[in-house]
A and B are shown apart, each in its own frame.
Chain A
Amino acid sequence: MNTKLIISKISKIYPGCIANDKVSLEFGSGKIYALLGENGAGKSTLVKILSGVVKPDEGEVFLNNENIKLNSPLDAKKNNIGMVFQHFNLFETLSVFENLSIDSSKKNEELRLQVNDILKKYNFKIDLDIPVLNLSAGQKQKVEIIRCLIRNPKVLIMDEPTSVLTEQETDDLFVSLKKFSQEGILIIYITHKLKEVLSLCDEVAVMRKGKVVSVSSTNEEKIESLANKMVGENLSTIKKKINNFKNSEEILKISNLNFISDDPYETNLINLNFSLKKGECLGIAGISGNGQSELFQILSGEIITESTSIMFRQKEISKLNPRERREYLMAFSPEDRISQAAVPELKIYENVALNNFKSSNFFEKGLVNEKKIKEHSKKILSNFSVNTDNVELKSQFLSGGNLQKLIIGRELITSPELLVCFNPTWGLDVGAINYIHETLININEQGKSSIVISTDNDELLRLSDRICVIYKGKLSKIMDASTVTPEKLGILMGGGSID
């Protein structure tokens, strides 16, 4: 089965932005192709065109020398083009099997057999009869992949598949993708992660501002050369942290943190104890779903537990709610920017006002002082290099990177003593990640403390002074970051021990 896919002079223009500018590319089966570019480079538009979701203004697509018209997702399916979207296209309240059966013409029994074969063949472990909302991100992605495999795809497009995956899940995905490729499926892999391009793909096309700027074989490329092509300028390397506060006072002490949940899909936390010094960054590693979000919610005060003691700046704050904790100069940046950290439908300045009820004179006698909030928001936008100065803009129109800068800025502008963040850079491009990392390093250097809960080990090794691993609701021993290697973390994250 030889597949050849040719994209010829595809253009798509949105008001105020050229998403794709005469993009031409050629793909052949048996290889994995990377489509690399920063957020907004036009990768997603291109794959939406290939999957029939968006119609191009110009250009043609040829599959095995036949000019195919992709006017709707059905056309893409008919031509055996499968697509796994970055934001999953699943029905959360339906069961896994219902999600799979909805666009299949097969009988249920027949389909179930086929799905079970696929599960066995690729060693996927998914319960077909539970609702999708109970699956982890990695499992959801597998459901999307299975949905494509059912239709025997010739082409499989993956749009930034690892942005929500843990390292282990990423490795599993790569194994599967290589298998698919050997079986003759043409794979187009969209990403902005350079390492992945080099470790997984055979060829790489780099896009910048809607244009293809380079096509090459991955053996000819290095991380630096790809980064420079992608960004279009020489990237500065991130600075190393100087720790001025080695023997400073203790600022936070957590003891006896226990959490037993009624919800079978949450993780119980068992007897966590740790402390944090002034100017220190504690990294908490782990595969997602091992209790990180519960821990974050307990630290932020969204969940109040009975037994836990949280001493912060010599005060017991374990019974305080998030707003009260903020008044004691704690700050929080949750994992999900869109649904937890910000309200996407609200304007930037309204989002800024949300967590600053007490700190300033935003509200007078119950009325909103718009002028003050807007001035304050403008300050955040410029201090934290958010790529807009329009505080009236709705937050949903900010890119992930800019939204995260806004959120971190909103938290930090009140000079908190402790910042707790959860996966602060997931789904962001290199430029934004570097910016966030520098910001986090800076606050430590200014004597402020931070806790970074993350599934990205590189991030933790870069930022933390001490690191521990959370596994099934329990914390590992806390280690000095200089003694930790990615291998050690890997063992602990899998439930192993290193003593």
Chain B
Amino acid sequence: MSFDINFIGILIGAVMASSVPLILAACGELITERSGVLNLGVEGMMIIGAISGFALMVVTDNLFLAVIGSMLSGLIISIIFALLTQSLLTNHVATGLALTIFGIGMSAMIGKNFVGIPGKEFPLLFVDLKESVPFLGPIFFGHSIILYFAFLLPFLTNYFLKNTKLGLIVRAVGDSPTSASNQGINVLLVRYSCILYGGAMCGLAGAYLSLIYTPQWIENMTGGRGWIALALVVFATWSPIKVLIGALIFGGITILQLHMQAVGLRIPVQLLSALPYIMTIIVLVVISRDSRKIKLNTPTSLGQIFYKEK
């Protein structure tokens, strides 16, 4: 029996690990969207983070620098988006799509020389406890610091939005940038900051993939996770805690259906592969169906171009 229980623990640990990039990217995008900016470039920023993190690791042989570098590169590429949408008033949707396409192409170009190079082992915390404590060990211990951060992030984000002055200002800008500007809030500064923060978190999400989850560089290795993160934000109705739940369900069913495929159930593989997407959407729609709450959580000015009266 102890084998079974440990196996479930390991399974849960694996689910947690697979949901980390979704949580990081979605929490970053959530802040961006709460300020009224719709950045569809999540996938692009993630993959740039993934390649720059990996490349830095190979070049400097320093994981700390690699992680910081991936965040910086996500941030830098989001500056392009911020400049275009906030200062040059381009359309959010088109610019975000362009950013994703740009990111995927750029990462493939940089990544050419890094294909096939093995990654470096990322330090894991509390490895002893993972081995010694049955069931709970593999759930709570033996993870990277980034995983612990990712699981803390939704709560921090929630606290930031609900309980801090800055969070209030972000929500106010997302509700009505014109009113905010008339109240003397620097809308551009707030939106720039939120976009850059979102970029950094997407970069970190990418680095988690290329440095920890599957430590190597593979072209297009984000594999649509950026889009899932985007969808999570919307279906979780801009609530960080629901983003966490959604990410876990998605990760959980992804792993579960892999096992089901391995067992050889008589269900078409395509259907099993589609299962995580379908289930995540169903669950999030069900837990978020309070229309009043949706109205209160949705950033009213999402995707709208703001320009100041002169």
Q: Which A residues contact B (CB, under 8 angstroms)?
A: 48, 51-55, 72-74, 77, 85, 88-94, 98, 101-103, 131, 133
Contacts and interface: CB of A to CB of B under 8 A. Distances in A.
Q: Does more than half of chain B's interface fall in helix, strand or loop, or is it mixed?
A: helix
Interface in B162-219: 165, 168-169, 171-172, 175-176, 178-185
24 contacts: A51-B182, A53-B181, A53-B182, A73-B181, A88-B179, A89-B178, A89-B179, A90-B179, A91-B175, A91-B176, A91-B179, A91-B180, A92-B175, A92-B176, A93-B295, A93-B297, A93-B298, A93-B300, A98-B171, A102-B169, A102-B172, A102-B185, A103-B183, A133-B296
Contacts of A52: 184
Contacts of B181: 53, 73
Contacts of A77: 184
Query: Which of B175, B185, B295 has the largest number of chain A CB atoms within 10 A?
Result: B175
A70 B178 CA distance: 18
A102 B168 contact: yes
A101 B169 CA distance: 10
A53 B178 CA distance: 10
Nearest to B308: A53
Contacts of A85: 182
A91 B296 contact: no
Contacts of A91: 171-172, 175-176, 179-180
A93 B238 CA distance: 13
Interface string B131-173: 0000000000000000000000000000000000100110110
Nearest to A132: B175
A93 B310 contact: no
A98 B168 CA distance: 7
B309 interface: yes
B296 to A, nearest CB: 5
Query: Which of A48, A53, A77 has the largest number of chain B CB atoms within 10 A?
Result: A53
A94 B175 contact: yes
Contact of A92 (B165, B169, B300): B300
Contact of A89 (B171, B182, B300): B182
Interface string B280-306: 000000000000000111101000000
B168 A94 contact: yes
Nearest to A73: B184
Contacts of A98: 168, 171-172
A430 B169 CA distance: 40
B214 to A, nearest CB: 40
B23 to A, nearest CB: 24
Contacts of B172: 91, 94, 98, 102
A419 B185 CA distance: 45
A131 B309 CA distance: 27
